[in-house]
Amino acid sequence: MSLLSARPFAIDIDPARTALIVIDMQRDFVEPGGFGASLGNDVTLLQAIIPTVGRLIAGFRAAGVTVIHTRECHVPDLSDCPPAKRNRGNPALRIGDAGPMGRILVAGEPGADIVPELAPIVGEIVIDKPGKGAFYATELGKILADRGIRQLVFAGVTTEVCVQTSMREANDRGFECVLATDATESYFPAFKQATLEMIAAQGGIVGWLATTDEIVSALHGS
Protein backbone atom coordinates (compact mmCIF):
# COMPACT_ATOMS: atom_id res chain seq x y z
CA MET A 1 0.00 0.00 0.00
CA SER A 2 1.15 3.54 -0.64
CA LEU A 3 -0.54 6.82 0.09
CA LEU A 4 -1.66 8.80 -2.95
CA SER A 5 -1.89 12.51 -2.37
CA ALA A 6 -5.26 13.18 -3.99
CA ARG A 7 -8.34 15.32 -3.80
CA PRO A 8 -10.66 15.53 -1.92
CA PHE A 9 -8.40 13.52 0.42
CA ALA A 10 -5.44 11.12 0.28
CA ILE A 11 -6.16 7.48 -0.54
CA ASP A 12 -4.18 4.26 0.00
CA ILE A 13 -3.33 2.59 -3.31
CA ASP A 14 -2.54 -1.10 -3.62
CA PRO A 15 -0.64 -1.47 -6.92
CA ALA A 16 -1.37 -5.22 -7.01
CA ARG A 17 -5.11 -4.50 -7.13
CA THR A 18 -4.95 -1.44 -9.39
CA ALA A 19 -5.25 -0.89 -13.15
CA LEU A 20 -4.85 2.09 -15.42
CA ILE A 21 -7.73 2.52 -17.87
CA VAL A 22 -6.76 4.71 -20.82
CA ILE A 23 -9.95 5.79 -22.51
CA ASP A 24 -10.20 6.21 -26.29
CA MET A 25 -6.86 7.83 -27.18
CA GLN A 26 -7.79 7.11 -30.79
CA ARG A 27 -6.90 8.88 -33.99
CA ASP A 28 -10.64 9.49 -34.57
CA PHE A 29 -10.78 11.78 -31.54
CA VAL A 30 -7.32 13.32 -31.63
CA GLU A 31 -6.41 13.80 -35.30
CA PRO A 32 -7.92 15.98 -38.03
CA GLY A 33 -10.39 14.12 -40.28
CA GLY A 34 -11.81 11.89 -37.54
CA PHE A 35 -15.03 11.73 -35.54
CA GLY A 36 -14.14 14.56 -33.16
CA ALA A 37 -13.22 16.90 -36.00
CA SER A 38 -16.35 15.92 -37.97
CA LEU A 39 -18.39 17.27 -35.05
CA GLY A 40 -16.65 20.63 -35.43
CA ASN A 41 -14.20 20.26 -32.54
CA ASP A 42 -10.65 21.59 -32.24
CA VAL A 43 -8.61 18.40 -31.87
CA THR A 44 -5.37 20.18 -30.92
CA LEU A 45 -6.63 20.47 -27.35
CA LEU A 46 -6.69 16.67 -27.09
CA GLN A 47 -3.37 16.18 -28.89
CA ALA A 48 -1.68 18.24 -26.19
CA ILE A 49 -2.12 15.56 -23.49
CA ILE A 50 -0.47 12.74 -25.48
CA PRO A 51 2.97 13.18 -23.80
CA THR A 52 1.40 13.25 -20.31
CA VAL A 53 -0.72 10.16 -20.98
CA GLY A 54 2.48 8.52 -22.27
CA ARG A 55 4.27 9.36 -19.01
CA LEU A 56 1.40 7.92 -16.97
CA ILE A 57 1.39 4.69 -19.02
CA ALA A 58 5.19 4.45 -18.71
CA GLY A 59 4.90 4.81 -14.92
CA PHE A 60 2.39 1.94 -14.74
CA ARG A 61 4.49 -0.26 -17.02
CA ALA A 62 7.64 0.43 -14.99
CA ALA A 63 5.79 -0.49 -11.77
CA GLY A 64 4.41 -3.68 -13.37
CA VAL A 65 0.82 -2.50 -12.86
CA THR A 66 -1.97 -3.49 -15.28
CA VAL A 67 -2.64 -1.15 -18.23
CA ILE A 68 -5.91 -1.42 -20.15
CA HIS A 69 -6.79 0.61 -23.25
CA THR A 70 -10.27 1.23 -24.65
CA ARG A 71 -11.43 2.18 -28.13
CA GLU A 72 -14.88 3.50 -28.94
CA CYS A 73 -15.77 1.73 -32.18
CA HIS A 74 -18.35 -0.41 -33.90
CA VAL A 75 -18.40 -3.62 -35.91
CA PRO A 76 -18.32 -2.99 -39.68
CA ASP A 77 -22.04 -3.73 -40.22
CA LEU A 78 -22.85 -1.23 -37.42
CA SER A 79 -25.15 -3.77 -35.76
CA ASP A 80 -23.82 -2.53 -32.39
CA CYS A 81 -24.47 1.14 -33.22
CA PRO A 82 -28.03 2.15 -32.42
CA PRO A 83 -29.57 4.57 -34.94
CA ALA A 84 -30.11 6.93 -32.02
CA LYS A 85 -26.31 7.17 -31.72
CA ARG A 86 -25.49 7.28 -35.43
CA ASN A 87 -28.09 9.92 -36.23
CA ARG A 88 -27.28 12.24 -33.34
CA GLY A 89 -26.37 15.81 -34.19
CA ASN A 90 -25.34 17.09 -37.59
CA PRO A 91 -21.76 15.91 -38.12
CA ALA A 92 -19.88 16.32 -41.40
CA LEU A 93 -19.33 12.54 -41.28
CA ARG A 94 -21.46 10.04 -39.40
CA ILE A 95 -20.26 6.86 -37.69
CA GLY A 96 -19.57 4.34 -40.47
CA ASP A 97 -19.05 6.95 -43.20
CA ALA A 98 -15.77 6.90 -45.13
CA GLY A 99 -13.35 9.64 -44.08
CA PRO A 100 -9.65 10.36 -44.54
CA MET A 101 -8.75 7.75 -41.88
CA GLY A 102 -11.21 5.12 -43.11
CA ARG A 103 -14.74 4.56 -41.86
CA ILE A 104 -15.52 6.70 -38.83
CA LEU A 105 -15.35 4.79 -35.49
CA VAL A 106 -15.34 1.36 -37.18
CA ALA A 107 -13.11 -1.36 -35.72
CA GLY A 108 -10.13 -2.20 -37.89
CA GLU A 109 -10.07 1.19 -39.66
CA PRO A 110 -7.00 3.45 -39.19
CA GLY A 111 -9.05 6.11 -37.39
CA ALA A 112 -10.17 3.66 -34.71
CA ASP A 113 -6.54 2.86 -33.82
CA ILE A 114 -4.94 4.25 -30.69
CA VAL A 115 -2.46 7.02 -31.58
CA PRO A 116 0.97 5.51 -32.30
CA GLU A 117 2.67 7.32 -29.38
CA LEU A 118 0.37 5.47 -26.92
CA ALA A 119 0.09 2.14 -28.72
CA PRO A 120 -0.55 -0.84 -26.43
CA ILE A 121 2.36 -3.21 -25.93
CA VAL A 122 2.17 -7.00 -25.99
CA GLY A 123 0.16 -8.28 -23.03
CA GLU A 124 -1.91 -5.13 -22.52
CA ILE A 125 -5.67 -5.49 -22.82
CA VAL A 126 -7.58 -3.51 -25.44
CA ILE A 127 -11.34 -3.21 -24.98
CA ASP A 128 -13.47 -2.24 -27.97
CA LYS A 129 -16.60 -0.58 -26.66
CA PRO A 130 -19.71 0.42 -28.59
CA GLY A 131 -20.89 2.87 -25.94
CA LYS A 132 -19.48 5.79 -24.06
CA GLY A 133 -18.96 3.70 -20.90
CA ALA A 134 -16.20 1.06 -20.85
CA PHE A 135 -18.35 -1.47 -18.97
CA TYR A 136 -21.40 -1.37 -21.26
CA ALA A 137 -21.46 -4.42 -23.62
CA THR A 138 -17.81 -5.32 -22.92
CA GLU A 139 -15.84 -7.92 -20.92
CA LEU A 140 -14.17 -5.25 -18.77
CA GLY A 141 -16.00 -6.14 -15.55
CA LYS A 142 -15.06 -9.82 -15.84
CA ILE A 143 -11.44 -9.03 -16.76
CA LEU A 144 -11.05 -6.83 -13.66
CA ALA A 145 -12.77 -9.36 -11.41
CA ASP A 146 -10.56 -12.20 -12.70
CA ARG A 147 -7.48 -10.13 -11.83
CA GLY A 148 -8.74 -9.06 -8.39
CA ILE A 149 -8.55 -5.39 -9.34
CA ARG A 150 -10.45 -2.99 -7.06
CA GLN A 151 -8.87 0.39 -7.77
CA LEU A 152 -8.85 2.15 -11.16
CA VAL A 153 -6.92 5.13 -12.44
CA PHE A 154 -8.58 6.79 -15.43
CA ALA A 155 -7.01 8.85 -18.22
CA GLY A 156 -7.92 9.69 -21.80
CA VAL A 157 -10.62 11.50 -23.72
CA THR A 158 -13.00 13.08 -23.49
CA THR A 159 -13.23 14.00 -19.84
CA GLU A 160 -16.96 14.65 -19.66
CA VAL A 161 -18.10 11.94 -22.09
CA CYS A 162 -16.34 8.56 -22.19
CA VAL A 163 -14.00 9.14 -19.24
CA GLN A 164 -16.70 10.37 -16.89
CA THR A 165 -19.24 7.77 -18.05
CA SER A 166 -16.72 4.95 -17.50
CA MET A 167 -15.70 6.31 -14.12
CA ARG A 168 -19.31 6.52 -12.98
CA GLU A 169 -19.96 2.96 -14.19
CA ALA A 170 -16.91 1.80 -12.23
CA ASN A 171 -17.90 3.76 -9.12
CA ASP A 172 -21.34 2.12 -9.14
CA ARG A 173 -19.63 -1.28 -9.41
CA GLY A 174 -17.66 -0.65 -6.22
CA PHE A 175 -14.28 0.34 -7.65
CA GLU A 176 -12.27 3.16 -6.09
CA CYS A 177 -11.58 5.50 -9.00
CA VAL A 178 -8.92 8.16 -9.47
CA LEU A 179 -8.89 10.53 -12.43
CA ALA A 180 -5.48 11.71 -13.65
CA THR A 181 -6.31 15.38 -14.03
CA ASP A 182 -3.54 16.30 -16.47
CA ALA A 183 -3.90 13.11 -18.54
CA THR A 184 -7.49 13.74 -19.58
CA GLU A 185 -8.93 16.42 -21.83
CA SER A 186 -12.09 17.76 -23.40
CA TYR A 187 -12.85 19.77 -26.53
CA PHE A 188 -14.54 22.14 -24.05
CA PRO A 189 -12.24 23.36 -21.22
CA ALA A 190 -15.24 24.40 -19.12
CA PHE A 191 -16.71 20.88 -19.37
CA LYS A 192 -13.41 19.36 -18.19
CA GLN A 193 -13.28 21.73 -15.23
CA ALA A 194 -16.90 21.04 -14.30
CA THR A 195 -16.31 17.28 -14.53
CA LEU A 196 -13.30 17.42 -12.22
CA GLU A 197 -15.32 19.42 -9.71
CA MET A 198 -18.36 17.13 -9.80
CA ILE A 199 -16.23 13.99 -9.39
CA ALA A 200 -14.51 15.25 -6.25
CA ALA A 201 -17.47 17.12 -4.76
CA GLN A 202 -19.46 15.79 -1.81
CA GLY A 203 -16.52 13.87 -0.37
CA GLY A 204 -15.48 12.32 -3.69
CA ILE A 205 -18.92 11.17 -4.76
CA VAL A 206 -17.52 9.67 -7.97
CA GLY A 207 -13.86 9.38 -7.00
CA TRP A 208 -10.54 11.11 -6.49
CA LEU A 209 -8.38 13.52 -8.48
CA ALA A 210 -4.59 13.41 -8.69
CA THR A 211 -1.90 14.49 -11.13
CA THR A 212 0.21 12.11 -13.20
CA ASP A 213 3.26 12.88 -11.02
CA GLU A 214 1.31 12.17 -7.82
CA ILE A 215 0.00 8.89 -9.18
CA VAL A 216 3.34 7.66 -10.56
CA SER A 217 5.09 8.60 -7.28
CA ALA A 218 2.55 6.64 -5.25
CA LEU A 219 2.91 3.59 -7.51
CA HIS A 220 6.63 3.60 -6.99
CA GLY A 221 6.25 4.11 -3.22
CA SER A 222 7.88 7.54 -3.14
Binding residues (CB under 6 A) for ligand C5J: these are 24, 29, 72, 132, 157-158, 161-162
| Nearest CB to ligand C5J, comparing residues 36 and 102 | 36
| Nearest CB to ligand C5J, comparing residues 48 and 62 | 48
| Nearest CB to ligand C5J, comparing residues 162 and 177 | 162
Nearest CA to 80 out of 58, 106, 54 is that of 106
Report the nearest approach of ligand C5J to the CB of residue 171 (Å).
17
Report the nearest approach of ligand C5J to the CB of residue 6 (Å).
23
| Nearest CB to ligand C5J, comparing residues 72 and 169 | 72
Distance of CA 61 to the CA centre of its chain: 17
Q: Is the dihedral of CA 9, 2, 144, 118 positive or negative?
A: positive
Using H for helix, E for strand and C for coil, what is the string for 104-125? CCECCCHHHCECHHHCCCCCCE
Question: Whole-angstrom distance between the N-terminal and C-terminal Cα of the chain?
Answer: 11
Contact yes or no for 13/2 (Cβ under 8 A)? yes
Report the nearest approach of ligand C5J to the CB of residue 37 (Å).
12
**Element containing residue 65 per DSSP (H, E):** none
In the annotation, is 129 catalytic? Answer: yes
Contact yes or no for 186/195 (Cβ under 8 A)? yes
Catalytic pick among 128, 129, 132, 177: 129
Report the nearest approach of ligand C5J to the CB of residue 38 (Å).
11
Q: So which residues are the catalytic ones?
A: 24, 129, 162
